[in-house]
Chain A
Amino acid sequence: MSTATPLRRSLITPTTLVLVALVVIAFYFLGVRFLFGLGAVANINSGYPWGIWVVVDVIIGTAFGCGGFAMALLVYIFNRGQYHPLMRPALLSGLFGYTLGGFAVIFDLGRYWHAYNLLLPWYIQPNSVMLEVALCVMAYVVVLWIEFAPAFLERLGLTGIKRVLDRWMFVFAALGVLLPTMHQSSLGSMLLVMGYKLSPLWFTLWLPALFVISALAMGYAVVMFEATVVSKTFSLPSEHALISKLSLVVGCITVGWLVLRWVDLFARDAVPLAFVGSVSVFLFWVENALFLFAALVFVTPAGRASPRASLLAAVALLAGGSLYRLDAYLVGYQPLSNWSYFPSVPELMVSIGVISLEILLYLVFIKTLPVLHGDAAHR
């Protein structure tokens, strides 16, 4: 097994320049937001007080950041050491998914200058699901940076510190599994208080389980997607052998999710609602079809063997998991009066900018730090 090394590639490429441009545009609109208020940039309103900055950047964004969580569970808890080469890239995407999710929270908060109140024991309100999410995500961002720290330490040659850190890494590995389980399920629990405003197609007591299971599935899908795209782009040795083994794990999780989703829908007699013509019902079916497609590819040997089908299925899973979150938070949600919401262009540009920043930092890190395996030939 080869070791992780920085990719010797130029930092300035057409791709990175486009990404930089998108980030600059996003910061321009963020400037407008801070000068003139949320309403000057975003279409959020009293009926839809949460828009894509919450749902895409935080709720979907952190699910995309679950690669580190998913791999830590497999490698450290279920002792599948053979997947270790996928660990660092997974942690890296988690690092940015979560760090930028936290950043998005700050600019979405209407009274961000009070954000530190979340840390004052005499202000916090322990019954609030959001408090649990906020504290747990903050803690996990720290854990992710610590889990990823060996890459910096190796690069800087600080082997002494690295040895000490390695000895205690099991603590962070455990937290790296526990904390995402907690807050990813809580992202589902956040909707439990919405019972009267949420379509029964999404509202269920199983929301926390559905959220955490789909986050896990999305975490693996991100790892598969990343490994395939990165090895293609930089013509590194294919990781497909490893990925196809991982596929079965993801397949089983996806099947489990679908079973829970549908048994629950039948148990609550909510299925008839899935046959009413409306946009939300249409999206409900798209969401389930994407999960089903991914499950079918991943549980069949032929599907797993084909790199192309696996990549498509990973993408389907990411799209399905994202749509599930979007539906649960925005589409299946019914405001009390005449309100509608569709993100404005500046609002979209901010979210696109955040995603661009994520990809940009990912590229910079894999080119400067030992993250990927198999680049030895290019040294």
Chain B
Amino acid sequence: MNAVDRRDFLRGAGFATAAAALPTEASAGIARPPKEISPQAVGMLYDSTLCIGCKACVAACKAANNMPPDIPQHLTDWNEDTWDTPEDLSGRTLNVIKVYRNGTAEQKDHEINGFAFVKRHCLHCVDPSCVSVCPVSAMQKDEVTGIVTHDPDRCIGCRYCVYGCPFGVPQFDFNNPLGKIAKCQFCSHLQKKGQIPACCDVCPTGASLFGPVKEIEQEIERRLTAAPGTPHEFPRGKIGENRPPNAATIPHYVKGIYGEHEAGGTQVRYLAGIPFPKLGLPTLGRQSPASLSEGMQHTLYHWLIAPVVAFLGFAFLARRNMAQHADDEAPKS
């Protein structure tokens, strides 16, 4: 199963690359300034080269967030509601490990004849589309930690967040008459109690690493500047916490840090040994989509001046014109 392949349905070639840039120059005057990351923002580093695909994080995430097992349709005849085997994010799954495979799939983190893992969940955008589109403030971004949470008691189930998230994160449970939006909330309930996100807590290799974004950035810097092959102590759980590190060597990373700039930047960052698009991470430009759509709304509806002026103008004209042709209309019976 090549879970991260794309099917080109209804689309022409060249579309994906062309769509990777918003019309930035043209929008310079329209877009509002991008949001800045909070100095105390917390984040996560997922290093695909460290991930061994054990899915301990998937199980821990389920337990920590009381999510039900997820069994794909094609496995239901032998897997009866016990073995959680999610293949993608869904209304029942907040976190999933997917695999890239190519050819003989012999070597880890090789694009040709290799394989690689990727973990998918909310990236906790700096300027999140889901927060911007939600009509009832059910999606909220914490001003200090930057965690993006969801409140089902407010949510009306319009699914604009599902449609709008550039990373394809929020999921609606379509098979439940009382369905909800499911989305990783960075285990904010555990963080409130001083614990760390369940997925980072259980990760045996430190592939999922929790910490303040600033320290995450420093750790990324250390990994990317060290020569491949040099010994490195990969922290586990939370950066700076006194857990024994995973002593290994620096792998061959592809260039770039996914999440540093994508769609205005995210608090979850990725390092990988094969190109990010191969892992199913969408190719996105730097502009946050929310800055564009909000900029347009603010331009058109600034203090509601335009609508009020238009209303007064229309009302004046309508009144004058109606008085004028009240006479041409025959009186009604």
| Residues on A facing B (Cβ under 8 Å) | 1-4, 33-40, 42, 44-47, 49-50, 75-77, 79, 81, 84, 109-112, 114-115, 117-118, 120, 123-125, 127-132, 134, 150, 154, 162, 166, 169-171, 173-175, 177-178, 181-182, 185, 189-190, 192-200, 203-205, 208, 267-268, 270, 273, 276-281, 331, 334-338, 340, 370
Main secondary structure of the interface of B (DSSP, over half): loop
Complex contact A193–B289 (CB within 8 A): yes
Nearest CB on A from B121, distance (A)? 14
B132 within 8 A of A: yes
Nearest CB on A from B144, distance (A)? 20
B90 within 8 A of A: yes
A79 to B292, CA, bound (A): 37
Complex contact A278–B137 (CB within 8 A): no
Question: Which one of B16-24, B252-260, B267-275 contacts A?
Answer: B16-24
A336-B167, A337-B280 provided; 10 other pairs, C-beta below 8 A?
A: A76-B321, A110-B155, A134-B135, A193-B293, A195-B292, A203-B23, A273-B15, A276-B15, A277-B12, A337-B88
Known: A37-B175, A205-B30, A280-B10. A189 touches B137 (CB 8 A): no
Q: Which A residue sits closest to B281, measured CB to CB?
A: A336
Residues of B within 8 A of A49 (CB): 159, 162-163, 172
Complex contact B310–A181 (CB within 8 A): yes
20 contacts between A and B (CB under 8 A): A37-B177, A49-B159, A77-B314, A110-B174, A110-B179, A112-B157, A115-B156, A123-B136, A132-B297, A169-B322, A175-B314, A178-B307, A193-B290, A195-B19, A199-B18, A204-B23, A278-B11, A335-B168, A340-B7, A340-B10
Complex contact A178–B310 (CB within 8 A): yes
The size of the chain B interface, using a CB distance under 8 A, is 91
Residues of B within 8 A of A114 (CB): 136, 153-157
Residues of B within 8 A of A118 (CB): 135-136, 156
Main secondary structure of the interface of A (DSSP, over half): helix
Nearest CB on A from B151, distance (A)? 9
Residues of A within 8 A of B155 (CB): 110-111, 114
Known: A3-B332, A123-B136, A178-B310. A84 touches B325 (CB 8 A): yes
Residues of A within 8 A of B175 (CB): 36-37, 39-40
Q: Which B residue sits closest to A79, measured CB to CB?
A: B321
Q: Which A residue sits closest to B91, measured CB to CB?
A: A46
A277 to B8, CA, bound (A): 12
Nearest CB on B from A47, distance (A)? 8
A280 to B324, CA, bound (A): 49
Known: A1-B329, A111-B152, A334-B16. A131 touches B296 (CB 8 A): no
Which residue from A2, A111, A170, A340 sits with its C-beta under 8 Å from B157? A111
Nearest CB on A from B72, distance (A)? 12
Which residue from B12, B90, B314 sits with its C-beta under 8 Å from A46? B90
Residues of A within 8 A of B27 (CB): 205
Mask, B1-37, CB within 8 Å of A = 1, is: 0001111011111111011101100110010000000
Complex contact B296–A192 (CB within 8 A): yes
Residues of A within 8 A of B5 (CB): 338
Complex contact B297–A129 (CB within 8 A): yes
Nearest CB on B from A166, distance (A)? 8
Known: A205-B23, A205-B30. A177 touches B314 (CB 8 A): yes
Nearest CB on A from B73, distance (A)? 12
A268 to B88, CA, bound (A): 35
B315 within 8 A of A: yes
Residues of B within 8 A of A38 (CB): 172, 174, 179
Complex contact A81–B174 (CB within 8 A): no
Q: With a 10 A CB-CB cut-off, give which of B4, B310, B317, B330 has the most chain A CB atoms.
A: B317
Known: A81-B325, A154-B333. A192 touches B289 (CB 8 A): yes
Residues of B within 8 A of A204 (CB): 23
Complex contact A1–B330 (CB within 8 A): yes
Residues of A within 8 A of B290 (CB): 127, 193
A194 to B168, CA, bound (A): 11
A170 to B325, CA, bound (A): 12
A2 to B318, CA, bound (A): 23
Complex contact B12–A280 (CB within 8 A): yes
B300 within 8 A of A: yes
A200 to B27, CA, bound (A): 14
Residues of A within 8 A of B289 (CB): 192-196
Complex contact B282–A196 (CB within 8 A): yes
A298 to B140, CA, bound (A): 50
Nearest CB on B from A331, distance (A)? 6
Segment 151-194 of B: residues with Cβ below 8 Å from A: 152-160, 162-164, 166-168, 171-181
B89 within 8 A of A: yes
Which residue from B20, B89, B157, B321 sits with its C-beta under 8 Å from A110? B157
Nearest CB on B from A245, distance (A)? 16
Segment 280-333 of B: residues with Cβ below 8 Å from A: 280, 282, 284-285, 287, 289-290, 292-294, 296-297, 300-301, 307, 310-311, 314-315, 317-322, 324-326, 328-330, 332-333
A124 to B177, CA, bound (A): 24
Nearest CB on A from B166, distance (A)? 5
Known: A45-B174, A79-B324, A131-B135. A334 touches B11 (CB 8 A): yes
- 7 closest A-B pairs by beta carbon, nearest first, are A110-B157, A39-B174, A276-B12, A111-B157, A336-B168, A174-B314, A278-B12
Known: A192-B296, A208-B300. A76 touches B317 (CB 8 A): yes
Known: A79-B317, A130-B135, A174-B318. A193 touches B129 (CB 8 A): yes
Nearest CB on B from A269, distance (A)? 9
B52 within 8 A of A: no
Nearest CB on A from B189, distance (A)? 21
A189 to B293, CA, bound (A): 7
Complex contact A125–B136 (CB within 8 A): yes
B133 within 8 A of A: yes
Complex contact A109–B158 (CB within 8 A): yes
Known: A173-B318, A192-B293, A338-B6. A46 touches B172 (CB 8 A): yes
Which residue from B137, B315, B326 sits with its C-beta under 8 Å from A171? B315
Residues of A within 8 A of B333 (CB): 3, 154
A95 to B329, CA, bound (A): 23
A38 to B325, CA, bound (A): 50
B263 within 8 A of A: yes
